Amino acid sequence: MKKLTHLLWYSFSILLIIVHASSCKKDFDSKHDGKERYTVAVKFQEFDQLIRPLRSNLRAQTNLFSNATTLRSPQSGQEGYLYYWSFNQSTLEPDIFVAGGSSITFNDGQIPETFATGWGFDTFNAGFGLTISGATEIVLKMPLSGVAQVQSFGLDISSSGTGPKAFSLSYSQDGRNYTVLSEDNQFSNTNTAHARSTFVFPLESLHLDLRRNLFLKLVPKAGFRGEASDYREATSVVKLDNIRLTGVTGLRGDAPIKALHYHIYEADSKDLVASGVYDFSERSLADFSLSLPAGDYIASYVSNESRENLMVPEAVAASSLYIGNRFSNHQARIFGVLDTFTVSGDMEREIILRRYFSQVKFEFTDAADLGKVEKLSITRRHDPEFYAPFNMSLANPILDQSEIVVYPEFVPADQSISFHQFIGEVSTPFPLTYRVNAYDAGDALLRSFEVSSAVRNNMLLIFRGALLPNNEAGANFQILFNEDWDGQEISSFD
């Protein structure tokens, strides 16, 4: 009986080893069999996932983030900032965001564009704050996709001598029907122009649909004025800074695929040593490691969080390696890096994965209601994108004619759509051309137009103009570039 038990346990152990090896999908070059191998523990960090926890958890990480200026999003299960605007880069893009598509507008959809000296908060330097003149209302839109719980909303605010000294705060999930959260929020200092007042509002008791957007609306009010001048709405200036929504992130329900593609080559010969796909939907990326003989290597790592698999050959020569993504997989978060390293013993490497995509955003400036626009389709007019890290002259292997279809819910406070454009890691701007078709509820074509530009990876590209330009002044689109979400260029075209 004892021998039988040992036999069964031995067979079960062999089966587990086979299953584990199969699930990792690893391929190794047999010529390295018999050589002593060393463990290479690889610690990945995504370019936009440098977590900034709440103040209580920050002391040990102050040095890490003191010079950070990159956009980032919190990891699953992280308690902290869901959204944070420091405005220190003089843009409306949040420093921290849990999902794309946020916006700040005022007075029925106008976009604020001026900044002034701000205030420091947490580990963010004083930098800049957002200023708005003549505001009758200010609306923040924050998508809640990927959020498990919303906890609080906070901001710093001030005004000019003739500006408001109080405001009301309301919330909505459709951008039309608002419920008052706090009616009268009086500034703490009314005698000094642009004196800082800080507010924090608990939101845990709200019954929010976390599949939808959260809209917060501030309505300036005269308030108690003390020694300040009379309130004059038309000439008033409001300054906002350190706008923040806190809570707990959940699992990315819109990204069932979480895969790391890796290809390890000898540095000189470019012979393939190891390749595979590591599934981190159930296992942490912190547990990823390689077993390699001593030598010099160059590795390609590509991570994919999306609804569809990437087009990546698993075991292939360096000159034939490519990465592609279906155009319709438009919310894919694809990061990657080429890493050169030497193995002479057990070691650990820290690697920052860079964005292999850019964000493309359409901001529609129509004064008229866009409620009749039921559907938008976006097709690319350029060649399918692919990235061949070791062979820039590789013939295009991608066959993809998919399109992006969006059913927008436009409101005056937000008339925009956005998507991720996969590009790879490139030094020369990649040319892009899109055809946009707008349809009504009966699927009748309302308008068809094309836009073009060229961008590198890790950029924000904004097309700004009227979607339905009938009777609209200035029907042409503007193109705005924001490289690394740091700096901006504007040009227009017909």
Closest Cα partner for 229 from 218, 237, 240? 237
Confidence check: pLDDT of 486 > 70? no
Task: Give the rounded distance of the alpha carbon of 28 from its chain centre.
Answer: 35
Q: What is the DSSP string of 245-259?
A: EEEEE---TT--EEE
Q: How far apart are the first and last CA of the chain?
A: 85
Confidence check: pLDDT of 471 > 70? no
The CATH 2.60.40 domain(s) of the chain lie at 24-46+253-354, 356-492
Q: Which residues are registered as beta bridge partners of 272?
A: 265
Q: Per-residue pLDDT averaged across 397-406, rounded?
A: 90
pLDDT band at 483 (very low <50, low <70, confident <90, very high): low
Q: Per-residue pLDDT averaged across 226-253, rounded?
A: 86
| pLDDT (0 to 100) of residue 129 | 95
Confidence check: pLDDT of 377 > 80? yes
Of 68-82, 123-137, 216-230, the range with the lowest mean pLDDT is 68-82
| pLDDT (0 to 100) of residue 166 | 94
Closest Cα partner for 477 from 454, 456, 452, 448? 452
Q: Which residue has tokens 């850019």?
A: 358
Closest Cα partner for 309 from 283, 336, 284, 277? 277
Is the domain spanning 356-492 CATH 2.60.120? The answer is: no
Cα(337)–Cα(397) distance, rounded to whole angstroms? Answer: 21
pLDDT band at 492 (very low <50, low <70, confident <90, very high): very low
Q: Which residues are registered as beta bridge partners of 301?
A: 262, 337
Closest Cα partner for 464 from 441, 440, 491? 491
Task: Give the rounded distance of the alpha carbon of 185 from its chain centre.
Answer: 32
Q: Per-residue pLDDT averaged across 286-303, rounded?
A: 93
Provide the percentage of residues in the chain whose pLDDT is more than 70: 81
Q: Is the Cα dihedral 175, 461, 86, 193 positive or negative?
A: negative
The CATH 2.60.120.260 domain(s) of the chain lie at 77-249
Q: Dump pLDDT digits (tens) for 304-315.
A: 988 889 999 878
pLDDT band at 245 (very low <50, low <70, confident <90, very high): very high
Share the mean pLDDT of the chain: 82
**Residues 6 or more apart from 255 whose CB is under 8 A from it?**
305, 306, 307, 331, 333
Q: Dump pLDDT digits (tens) for 430-454.
A: 999 999 999 998 889 999 999 999 9
- Kindly list the strands in the beta sheet with 103-106, ordered across the sheet, starting from the edge strand earlier in the chain: 103-106, 138-143, 213-221, 166-172, 179-186
Two tokens at 184?
Answer: 């009268």
Q: Which residues are registered as beta bridge partners of 447?
A: 438
**Residues 6 or more apart from 264 whose CB is under 8 A from it?**
272, 273, 274, 275, 290, 292, 297, 298, 299
Closest Cα partner for 285 from 310, 304, 311? 304
**Residues 6 or more apart from 470 whose CB is under 8 A from it?**
none
pLDDT band at 8 (very low <50, low <70, confident <90, very high): very low
Cα(95)–Cα(48) distance, rounded to whole angstroms? Answer: 9
| pLDDT (0 to 100) of residue 19 | 36
Confidence check: pLDDT of 216 > 50? yes
Two tokens at 266?
Answer: 């000898």
CA angle 205, 146, 105 (to 5 degrees): 75
Task: Give the rounded distance of the alpha carbon of 406 from its chain centre.
Answer: 18
Topology given in CATH for the domain delimited by 24-46+253-354? Immunoglobulin-like (2.60.40)
Backbone angles phi, psi at 17, to 5 degrees: -60, -45
Topology given in CATH for the domain delimited by 77-249? Jelly Rolls (2.60.120)
| pLDDT (0 to 100) of residue 70 | 35
Backbone angles phi, psi at 8, to 5 degrees: -65, -45
Q: Which residues are registered as beta bridge partners of 324?
A: 311, 386
| pLDDT (0 to 100) of residue 9 | 41
Higher pLDDT, 110 or 11: 110
Higher pLDDT, 469 or 69: 469
Higher pLDDT, 200 or 286: 200
| pLDDT (0 to 100) of residue 210 | 85
| pLDDT (0 to 100) of residue 493 | 31
Cα(114)–Cα(364) distance, rounded to whole angstroms? Answer: 20
Q: Is 55 exposed, middle or buried (0-12, 13-18, 19+ CB in 10 A)?
A: exposed
| pLDDT (0 to 100) of residue 54 | 35
